[in-house]
Amino acid sequence: MKVAFHVNDAKPRAKAARRELGAAARALGLRVASRGAAEVVVARGGDGTILHAVHAFPGVPVLGCNLGGLGYLASVVEKDFGKALRMLSEGRFKVSERSMLEVRKGRRRALALNDVVIVREMTGHAAILEVEADGRRAARYMADGVVVATPTGSTAYSLAAGGPVLMPDTRCLSVTPMNPHALAVRPVVVSDGVLLRVTSRRRVNGRVAEKLGVYADGEAVFMLGGDESAEISKAAELAKLVELAGFDPYEVMGRKLGWPK
């Protein structure tokens, strides 16, 4: 099997870690490959590193090895890195296909595995966000922004904003307003076949609409002005994550979120 390693080069000892991983892989009979020839990518870092690997190696299965904090996407802890490589060499894993989002504004398009975040930029005023689902008005939020998350991304920014946890195999998206100015406002779960349109509207007092930044997996993609919209839907592309033998999403969820045993 040809394996490539994706390491956060901003971290201390990144080059040394890459050499160590390469040596350990070769000792197990794995071949260290270049980007274009890799059959599996081992990403060593936090969730940001794993998301970067998914985008840098489109269509290639990614195994996450955690060196960050929570590291929800990285189910392998540091002490088990060697064991994880051995399981790869023995074929003791499966590939989980995960839904991705696409966000569009005109001809601009970006992909996200975790989430698309639309948020006000550099002001103290709340934004007015109108959300449509398949052309039907679904919600109107006075809030800091909104997070649209996949099941994979439901445990990231969406969870911090009060959104629900979605299991990886569910076919839905969560829509979570950020700091809404109404107690009755709650997150909504919709089918992943829905086309969502989020539009920036003027305030009742006529104040111009807030400038909104649109982010895909934390990367800025474009801005929204008054009465401009972003369309969000399930992408045709899939992300692929490696799940080692014995992987249990419920166990990982409880362990990462600190739930009592």
- CA contacts within 13 A on the Cβ side of 4: 18
Long-range contacts of 217-222 (CB under 8 A, 24+ apart): 217/51, 217/55, 217/111, 217/112, 217/113, 217/114, 217/115, 217/153, 218/48, 218/51, 218/114, 218/117, 219/110, 221/103, 221/108, 221/110, 222/105, 222/108
pLDDT digits (tens, 9 = 90+) for 78-92: 788 889 999 999 999
Domain end point (choices 46, 67, 91): 91
pLDDT digits (tens, 9 = 90+) for 91-114: 999 999 999 999 999 999 999 999
My answer on whether 83 and 122 are in the same domain is no
Mean pLDDT of 34-55: 88
Q: What's at 33, amino acid-wise?
A: A
Is the pTM for the entire model greater than 0.75?
yes
**Would residue 166 count as lying in a domain?**
yes
Asked which of 58-62, 130-134, 160-164, 245-249 is least confident by mean pLDDT, the reply is: 245-249
Mean pLDDT of 212-236: 95
**Would residue 180 count as lying in a domain?**
yes
Domain, as residue range, for 119: 101-236
**Would residue 261 count as lying in a domain?**
no
Domain end point (choices 91, 115, 137): 91
My answer on whether 152 and 183 are in the same domain is yes
My answer on whether 127 and 213 are in the same domain is yes
CATH number for the domain spanning 107: value is: 2.60.200.30
User: Which amino acids are annotated catalytic?
Assistant: 47
Rounded to whole angstroms, how far apart are CA atoms 238 and 171?
13
Number of domains in the chain: 2
